[in-house]
A and B are shown apart, each in its own frame.
Chain A
């Protein structure tokens, strides 16, 4: 679909997306080739087919999909594009798989600035290259003004799982340790600081990051001793542990004092009446690890830049109620429940 010569260059500085960019004609072809292909640049897209073909690994494949509707689109530490790549890569790697390919589908609101779209596409390309992943399929739709909030992105990820490796929440066992890879709530607070109705100044940036490399060093240290991994995005640590509790039929006992939270995040949460364990993360993981390997895995995490502040925050316990309990820093006990309703709107 190379469209050259007979068309005016796309005005990436001042131009806007209009309905013709989604109509299947030359304008769309031009947008795809001069913006998306350039940003994602790889041999699959260069062939300009309606699909991409790739070799299948022996063993198991992993697939996941996620939609991104974050508001605002640009936030400290990233934008919707980098988030859409990191988030889906992380969902793939939480299975222990190596991430390989992504697809990306864009729903763009009429009037969206091309310069913003370029920035977002460039961040996606950069994020994918950083993780050794290729965006090999895509789709672009333009909807009328008012029918989308600027831009929505859906990404699907595919990965390959090493032989014999099978992480799943139902593998958690009584006495396993609960590790988190770093401070909680950074992403949610960074997003919140930019929302127009509550905007405030903070040095906190989103933790949005691809966790494939951290996971690789953890697997090298813990192998099959790592029973479950999950990234605590929407609903935060609380939602993730409650999910795992329900899938595994176990309960958790956490130590509040051991849970890493940055002072600025704690202060923001204090101000808005939020609990950091309910706030979203986009570059953190929770691992349930066999007790005899927990220290080794934790040491490996701490040696990695994305796991510097990793911590052992508690253990799994037998509990018919599947409660996530926490010993508070104050010396009492409480239940850590799912969040009811929304804590922060549209964070990912």
Chain B
């Protein structure tokens, strides 16, 4: 297939693998976090870790929108959709995401709640137009990539005077989460160098550009390489990170130059800033409350805000105490370090959100990496 096969070429991969092996200092351990679930997926799907030397290890970061959504927000959505007049529109995997006490939107749907899976925010507009007597609520989640479509949807809804449409906003901001990971004392306690660099977001960066990472790289002294989601992109980014570490540099480099500019996508950014403003803080599964990390609708669009419209209350829900999602999302532990992994917690019966989405760190390990871990366990 054109435009994809070129980025999955075995020979080029072997060349990059050889370069990484040759340049990585054998006396040194390299621990790189790929922030995005899209990168985690590519690493697992293509078996990329098999091509890396033993001293270059990838840590799966929190960049999966479903994974970082706390149980409290799912519970809020379930409570909302229990109202008979509400139709809730959601993106794919969110429907299986676990709330507290074994609740999920999937269960709510089985009990009769009107929940629709949508592929695009334009589907939400269509649903609202077709059923004007329903209160159609879009469960908006995701990082900077999915925020512009929500903003556009609100603009269209306003233009079409769709009074029955609203948004339950859970959009989050990548740089704040990266900062939270680096500032976390738990991370710093492990010698302060649990992460030697970041494979930076692909699609998120097409929107926000590379500039927002510059302060982070400078402040924490960690190299960041923005990379595409194809396996060769990731390999090349790893090589660039190895070189930066070897040269004691901590720059923001752009491997994904075919899609990402330093300034990002101005039009998308404008759409977003017109509709949204930062929340003081937002709860992330695994990271807790992170300041300035979430978005809410601006006052001018308050009538589209489901939280205000339905007087939705913030719920407090404690995570399952045995679940290591928190540590895994922070890169402090690996999925196999969790007692629940593969026993109580599997893709069929997820406990933590890392197991829910196929891009979640635990689900990716479970689906693609069990053999590798089994081999590690046997040899260690």
Contacts and interface: CB of A to CB of B under 8 A. Distances in A.
Interface of A: 197-198, 263, 266-267, 270, 275, 321, 323, 325, 327-335, 337, 340-341
Given A197-B119, A198-B119, A270-B1, A330 B368 contact: no
Given A198-B119, A323-B370, A325-B371, A333 B96 contact: no
A323 B373 CA distance: 13
Given A197-B118, A197-B119, A340-B348, A331 B1 contact: no
B4 A331 contact: no
B231 A330 contact: yes
A65 to B, nearest CB: 26
B374 A321 contact: yes
Contacts of B96: 341
Interface of B: 1, 4, 8, 10, 13-14, 17, 44-51, 96, 117-119, 123, 231, 347-348, 358, 363, 366-372, 374
A153 to B, nearest CB: 25
Contact of A332 (B46, B118, B358, B367): B46
Nearest to B45: A334
Contact of B47 (A323, A330, A337): A330
Given A266-B1, A337-B366, A332 B119 contact: no
5 contacts: A321-B370, A328-B46, A330-B231, A334-B45, A334-B369
A197 B123 contact: yes
A267 B4 CA distance: 9
Given A266-B1, A267-B1, A328-B46, 5 more contacts: A270-B4, A331-B10, A333-B50, A334-B368, A337-B347
Contacts of B366: 337
Contacts of B50: 331-333
Contacts of A330: 8, 10, 13, 46-48, 51, 231
Contact of B367 (A266, A321, A335): A335
Nearest to A261: B1
Contacts of A329: 8, 10
Contacts, number: 71
A332 B374 contact: no
Contacts of B10: 329-331
Contacts of B371: 321, 323, 325, 333, 335
A263 B123 CA distance: 28
B1 A328 contact: no
A235 to B, nearest CB: 13
Contacts of B119: 197-198
B51 A332 contact: yes
A335 B45 contact: no
Contacts of B372: 333
A147 to B, nearest CB: 16
A267 B3 CA distance: 10
A292 B163 CA distance: 70
A328 B374 contact: no
Nearest to B117: A197
A330 B13 CA distance: 7
A331 B118 contact: no
A331 B51 contact: yes
Contacts of A323: 370-371
Given A197-B123, A325-B371, A341-B96, A332 B1 contact: no
Contacts of B1: 263, 266-267, 270
A296 B369 CA distance: 35
Contacts of A333: 47, 50, 371-372
Nearest 9 pairs of A and B residues by beta carbon: A332-B47, A340-B347, A332-B50, A330-B46, A334-B368, A333-B47, A334-B47, A337-B367, A328-B47
A295 B95 CA distance: 46
